Amino acid sequence: MGSADSRLTIAGRELAGLRAEKTILLAVAIQLFIAAFSSFLVVGLVSMYDPGALDGAEVEVAAAGDAVTDLERAADEVSGASVTRYENAGAARLAFERNAADAVVIATRDDGGGVDVHVTAPDTTVETTVIVVQLRDLLRTYEVNERAQRAEFLTESPLPLPDRTGSSPYFTFTYTVLIPVLVFLPVFISGSLVVDSITEEIDRGTLELLRVAPVTLGEIVDGKALAAVSIAPGQALLWLLLLRANGTPVANVPAILVLMTALTTLVVALAVAISALAPDRRAAQFLYSIGVLVLFGGATAMAGGPANAVARLAIDSADAATTALVVAYVAIAAVAYVGVRRLVAENGFEG
């Protein structure tokens, strides 16, 4: 019982000290803001993730050349793009310079029967990305129409294009980007807390004072790890509840929390091991950052990585492989922490 009380006391001491970690509190506040106002922010975030998802963006194109007719026909099929014909390229460019048009397209036919298209778009303006995306859709439609018109002259039939899925970019962004980010950021924060806590204890010499007390080094590590691991699921649960309150349903919340708790334990074990190898605070944080990038980068590169598992759980499309992945991460995290904890208890920290 005394051993458990010692771990809880150290964990409570760590949690109480979080009020002094302004960087951590700021990171949590940013996540809280994103989760609380997700339904409003997702529109702006999607505009960066997929500018083509924006509705209502109108682009005025000044066009010239002997192939403008087909370009005008393509504009009728693309929402948000309108083409105004000018007598020549000079007049079109003049309209662009006077802000009467958002872009210039000069379309002319060459001697070989092809079409040369020269596009001018604004450089480094706020609207540039949206204009370029709209121009891309316009020219893609233009190309498809040209291919369709010339299909009868081909000696072989072209490959058919795949059907469009029609999936909403807001849905894709929310479940493949926003939710995994909100779930995994607490994982990274918990590991960073452990690195800071242990290296700061070593720098100040307070770790030796703790060891004078009737607690073992293993219990000290357990207490610090318990504090770091316990706050991550609480944050993730709050973010998911706020998303649900904002109209974003999230399925399988318990399974998501189990997965992120296992990942937090794995990252905390990594943080403890790094603190033991590099007790200098700056060096430890640098190595921790590199280690996390390698760990999660490698996991993401694998089929069915953590981010994919969270997304599939959130939309309730998880299969047996997803469940097996969650169980595997729980087992890996448990083995990793027990191994690191035993190593530190036997060898201690340098410094």
Does 23 share its domain with 172? yes
Least confident of 43-47, 142-146, 238-242, 267-271: 43-47
Inside any domain, residue 160 = no
Does 200 share its domain with 76? no
Does 212 share its domain with 325? yes
Which carries the bigger pLDDT value, residue 58 or residue 307?
Answer: 307
In this structure, are residues 198 and 274 in contact, taking their beta carbons and an 8 Å threshold? no
Q: Would you say residue 158 has pLDDT above 70?
A: no
Which carries the bigger pLDDT value, residue 200 or residue 89?
Answer: 89
Does 190 share its domain with 329? yes
Does 223 share its domain with 334? yes
In this structure, are residues 258 and 326 in contact, taking their beta carbons and an 8 Å threshold? yes
Instruction: Find the Cα–Cα–Cα–Cα dihedral 316, 37, 167, 300, rounded to 10°.
Output: -60
Which carries the bigger pLDDT value, residue 148 or residue 289?
Answer: 289
The segment with the largest mean pLDDT, out of 59-63, 123-127, 342-346, is 59-63
Total of domains in the chain: 2
Burial of 75 (0-12, 13-18, 19+ CB in 10 A): buried
How many C-beta atoms surround the C-beta of residue 203 within 10 A?
13
Does 187 share its domain with 254? yes
DSSP secondary structure string, 258-276? HHHHHHHHHHHHHHHHHHH
Does 144 share its domain with 109? yes
| Distant-in-sequence, close-in-space partners of 115: CB < 8 Å, separation ≥ 6 | 67, 70, 107, 108, 109, 146
Q: What is the 3-state secondary structure (H, E, C) of 40-69?
A: HHHHHHHHHHCHHHCCCCCEEEEEECCCHH
Q: What is the pLDDT of residue 335?
A: 93
Task: For residue 83, list its beta bridge partners.
Answer: 61
Does 104 share its domain with 67? yes
pTM of the model: 0.65
* Residue 91 CB-half CA count within 13 A: 8
Does 264 share its domain with 299? yes
Could you give the CA distance from residue 67 to residue 2 in angstroms, rounded to a whole number? Answer: 85
Confidence of residue 125 (pLDDT cuts 50, 70, 90): low
Which carries the bigger pLDDT value, residue 261 or residue 73?
Answer: 261
How many C-beta atoms surround the C-beta of residue 100 within 10 A?
13
How many C-beta atoms surround the C-beta of residue 158 within 10 A?
9
Could you tell me the CATH number of the domain that includes residue 56?
3.40.190.10
Residue 309 three-state SS = helix
> Which is it for strands 103-109 and 81-85: parallel, antiparallel or unpaired?
unpaired
Picking from 121, 153, 185, the residue at the C-terminal end of a domain is 153
Q: What does the block give as tokens for 304?
A: 């069915």
Query: What average pLDDT does range 322-347 have in this prediction?
Result: 87
Task: For residue 117, list its beta bridge partners.
Answer: 107
3-state helix, strand, coil in the chain (%, to 5): 70, 5, 25
Query: What average pLDDT does range 58-80 have in this prediction?
Result: 83
CA dist 269 → 6, 188, 221 (Å)? 20, 12, 10
Could you give the CA distance from residue 164 to residue 170 in angstroms, rounded to a whole number? Answer: 16
Q: Would you say residue 170 has pLDDT above 70?
A: no
